[in-house]
């Protein structure tokens, strides 16, 4: 196994080193490495340094395969704040790390499932784009839901 | 604040309970569209957990009954069933179903096939419904409907994996004595096609669907030991299928045998004397792979009285694979490791139970140019009131089953058009047929063209008011 190291650069220009064989768990990085050897720095313009640090921690895990599921679950559980989880999920989506994205999305779903509509909007950065008339029409139509 | 990518939002949304998803349509315009986006619909279907649809009805009167939505909750060492009255479907409230018998004949991808028989009005009909999207579609009525309807023996409802064609197969006694015939209907084509005589004598009403085939138990034929026949949805042919050895000593006692699909495997159960056994076909189509997985002897099952069990669903919560069984008006769980059996839910004595995977696939996607509006393709919206989403904004509604007493419980072709969930433009859900997409119909056209008074057996039923909705 090659011990070659890659350098990833976050949105805020911080540099992170990671061994290539660990980094290629990300399908996006794997494809970059295949294409150009990725000798230079790999920029990740949508991932901030805090999130990238988490992703690196995740990629560096040393888990036996049979314990991996539990590890991933615990990993996201310990970062149970929705904004952090969303950043993590978005980074995992960009980097194509399926397990991490699944776990983060599952955790967010668990957290929001008992939220009110307003809380859901707030948590998931959504603007309520309905006019009061539309809102009323929907509330009338779905009156049983309120 | 940057908006989340649509893919991420839909991924999160797809992991929520169905009720919550429906409610989330109110979050914003985008989310409302997400719920009908084919990417979301397919993603949700891929992770939608099975629930049980339990049809309770009085065997001796013509009440359609209630489709009770029962969620299976996996705990560490047992399973709980949770009845959800809000997601259940009260067939009695649907006016076209009144004074008739309704049987659930199969379910695939969130669609349920219903067979309706009305002895008074002398007809039988076939419906496909999606309780989640509140759509119900009536298939065209077959010729010589009544006589054959009365003697319908079996249905199969499934989908081809490659071409995604939804097909209903209806097997009935023909006018010739002891000859069965079959018709097939592909959703979206608008007509039943005859398949001619069925070469085997089958019993059991629901064909178990697995690997693009329906499976039925058949009467033994002299020239073959096989006791199972299949119908291939693609080639549309019947053939015998490798079966496990039959354990029933008295071959004539047929009701003791049944088929089921448990955890992706075809299974055959056998009850005889005081023993119940379950055979599992580990590798599909390989005769040698039939394995006797479970034996419930009298010493285990004495609480059940005479063991007459039909295996219906293998729950997946335990590594050793416990099984849900229906018997004597109760649902039982059998735990193979401890060899114990436990009653987990009382149900109606004559209830029928099917596994059902909720989905947001839309029946209206089956509308196509070939739809003859006079004879078929009536896609009704189910009454708005029977379906509720999670009441996360306030306390749970007090009182039992408050849903059914609300306004407009009747079924009307116009109900659906009022429901914004159906009239929504934008991306259609999964396109069930390859080829050019026909855009969703403007809402207004459907009601006018499709209402067909003759279809409604009792337009004056209480609760049905066509003009009001």
CATH number at residue B220: 2.120.10.80
Residue B287 and residue B343 in one domain: yes
pLDDT of the residue at B147:
58
Residue B110 and residue B256 in one domain: yes
Mean pLDDT over each residue of chain B, to the nearest integer: 72
List all residues of chain A from 100 to 139 with a beta carbon under 8 Å from chain B.
101, 105-106, 108-109, 112-117, 120-121, 124-130, 137-139
Using an 8 Å Cβ cutoff, are B27 and A117 in contact?
Answer: yes
Residues B263-284 as b or e (16 or more Cβ within 10 Å = b): eebbbbbbbbeeebbbbbbeee
Give the CA distances from residue B70 to residues B49, B73, B79, B279, B346, in Å, rounded to whole numbers and listed in that order. Answer: 11, 9, 12, 26, 12
3-state class of B343 per DSSP? strand
Residues B173-231: tens digit of each pLDDT: 877 777 888 999 999 888 899 998 998 888 778 899 999 999 998 887 777 788 899 99
Residue B162 and residue B300 in one domain: yes
Residue B336 lies in a domain: yes
From CA A49, how far away is CA B323, in angstroms rounded?
A: 49
The answer to whether residue A15 neighbours chain B at the CB level (below 8 Å) is no
From CA B54, how far away is CA B65, in angstroms rounded?
A: 10
What is the chain A residue with the closest CA to B394? Answer: A146
pLDDT of the residue at B1:
53
CB within 8 Å: B29 and A130? yes
Residue B250 lies in a domain: yes
Closest chain A C-alpha to B1 CA, distance in angstroms: 7
Q: What is the DSSP string of A27-49?
A: HHHHHHHHHHTT-S-EE-TT--H
Residue B341 and residue B417 in one domain: no
Residue B57 and residue B8 in one domain: no
Tell me which of B302 and A53 has the higher pLDDT. A53
Residue B362 lies in a domain: no
Strand order in the sheet with B275-281: B257-262, B265-272, B275-281, B290-296
Residue B257 and residue B158 in one domain: yes
**Token representation of residue B140:** 């065209």
pLDDT of the residue at B412:
34
Please report where in the chains the tokens 């004539």 appear, as a residue. B252
Residues A77-119: tens digit of each pLDDT: 988 789 999 999 999 999 999 999 999 999 999 999 989 888 9
Residue B101 lies in a domain: yes
The answer to whether residue B147 neighbours chain A at the CB level (below 8 Å) is no
Residue B438 lies in a domain: yes
From CA B469, how far away is CA B457, in angstroms rounded?
A: 18
Residue B41 and residue B54 in one domain: no
Residue B351 and residue B224 in one domain: yes
Residue B250 and residue B350 in one domain: yes
DSSP B76: S
**Token representation of residue B181:** 């015939």
Residue B302 and residue B438 in one domain: no
Q: Which domain holds residue B455?
A: 367-384+392-469
The answer to whether residue B320 neighbours chain A at the CB level (below 8 Å) is no
Number of neighbours of residue B304 by Cβ within 10 angstroms:
20
From CA B207, how far away is CA A71, in angstroms rounded?
A: 42
Residue B113 and residue B204 in one domain: yes
Residue B361 lies in a domain: no
Using an 8 Å Cβ cutoff, are A38 and A21 in contact?
Answer: no
Residues B218-267: tens digit of each pLDDT: 887 777 788 899 999 999 999 999 998 876 555 555 557 888 888 889 99
How many structural domains are present in chain B? 3
Residues B360-407: tens digit of each pLDDT: 998 877 765 333 333 223 344 444 433 332 222 223 333 333 222 233
Residue B312 lies in a domain: yes
Residue B27 and residue B94 in one domain: no
From chain A, the residues in CB contact with B12 under 8 A are: 89, 105, 108-109, 112, 124
C-alpha dihedral sign at B460, B466, B468, B469: positive
Check: pTM over 0.90? Answer yes or no: no
Residue B440 lies in a domain: yes
CB within 8 Å: B28 and A125? no
């Amino acid at each position: 196994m090659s011990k070659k190291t890659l350098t990833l650069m976050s949105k805020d220009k911080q540099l992170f080193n990671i061994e290539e064989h660990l980094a290629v768990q990300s399908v996006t990085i794997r494809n970059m490495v295949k294409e150009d050897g990725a000798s230079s720095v790999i920029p990740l313009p949508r991932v901030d340094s805090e999130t990238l640090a988490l992703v690196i921690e995740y990629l560096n895990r040393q888990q036996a395969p049979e314990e991996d599921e539990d590890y991933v679950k615990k990993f996201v559980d310990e970062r149970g704040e929705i904004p952090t989880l969303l950043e993590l999920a978005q980074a995992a989506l960009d980097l194509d790390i399926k397990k991490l994205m699944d776990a983060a999305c599952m955790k967010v779903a668990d957290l929001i499932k008992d939220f009110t509509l307003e809380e859901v909007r707030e948590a998931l950065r959504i603007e309520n784009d309905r006019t009061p008339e539309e809102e009323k029409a929907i509330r009338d139509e779905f009156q049983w839901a309120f | 604040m940057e908006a989340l990518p649509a893919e991420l939002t839909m991924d999160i949304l797809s992991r929520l309970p169905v009720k919550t998803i429906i409610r989330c349509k109110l979050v914003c315009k985008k989310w409302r569209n997400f719920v009908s986006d084919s990417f979301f619909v397919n993603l949700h279907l891929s992770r939608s957990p099975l629930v049980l649809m339990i049809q309770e009805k009085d065997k001796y009167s013509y009440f359609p009954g209630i489709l009770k939505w029962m969620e299976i909750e996996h705990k560490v060492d047992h399973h709980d069933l949770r009845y959800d009255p809000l997601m259940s479907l009260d067939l009695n409230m649907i006016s076209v179903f009144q004074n008739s018998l309704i049987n659930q004949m199969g379910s695939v991808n969130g669609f349920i096939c219903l067979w309706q028989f009305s002895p008074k009005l002398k007809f039988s009909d076939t419906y496909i419904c999606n309780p989640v999207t509140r759509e119900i579609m009536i298939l065209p009525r077959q010729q010589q409907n009544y006589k054959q309807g009365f003697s319908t023996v079996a249905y199969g409802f499934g989908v081809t994996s490659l071409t995604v064609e939804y097909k209903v197969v209806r097997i009935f006694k023909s006018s010739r004595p002891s000859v069965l015939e079959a018709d097939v209907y592909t959703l979206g084509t608008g007509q039943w096609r005859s398949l001619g005589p069925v070469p085997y004598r089958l019993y059991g009403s629901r064909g178990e669907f697995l690997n693009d085939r329906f499976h039925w138990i058949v009467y033994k034929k002299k020239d073959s030991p096989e006791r199972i026949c299949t119908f291939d949805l693609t080639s549309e042919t019947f053939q015998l299928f490798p079966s496990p050895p039959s354990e029933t000593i008295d071959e004539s006692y047929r009701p003791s045998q049944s088929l089921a699909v448990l955890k992706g495997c075809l299974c055959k159960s056998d009850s005889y004397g005081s023993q119940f056994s379950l055979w599992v076909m580990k590798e599909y189509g390989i005769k040698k792979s039939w394995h006797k997985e479970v034996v419930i002897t009298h010493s285990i099952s004495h609480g059940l009285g005479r063991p007459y069990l039909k295996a219906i669903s293998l729950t997946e919560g335990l590594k050793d694979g416990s099984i849900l069984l229906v018997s004597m008006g109760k649902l039982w769980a059998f735990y193979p490791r401890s060899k114990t059996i436990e009653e987990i839910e009382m149900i109606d004595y004559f209830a029928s139970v099917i596994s059902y995977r909720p989905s947001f696939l839309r029946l209206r996607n089956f509308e196509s140019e070939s739809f003859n509006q006079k004879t078929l393709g009536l896609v009704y919206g189910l009454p708005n009131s029977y379906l509720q989403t999670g009441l996360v904004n306030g306390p749970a509604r007090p009182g039992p089953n408050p849903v059914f007493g609300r306004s407009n419980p009747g079924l009307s072709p116009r109900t659906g058009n009022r429901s914004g969930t159906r009239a929504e433009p934008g991306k259609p859900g999964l396109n069930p047929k390859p080829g050019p997409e026909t855009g969703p119909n403007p809402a207004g056209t459907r009601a006018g063209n499709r209402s067909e008074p003759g279809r409604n057996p009792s337009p004056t039923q209480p609760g049905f008011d066509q003009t009001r909705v």
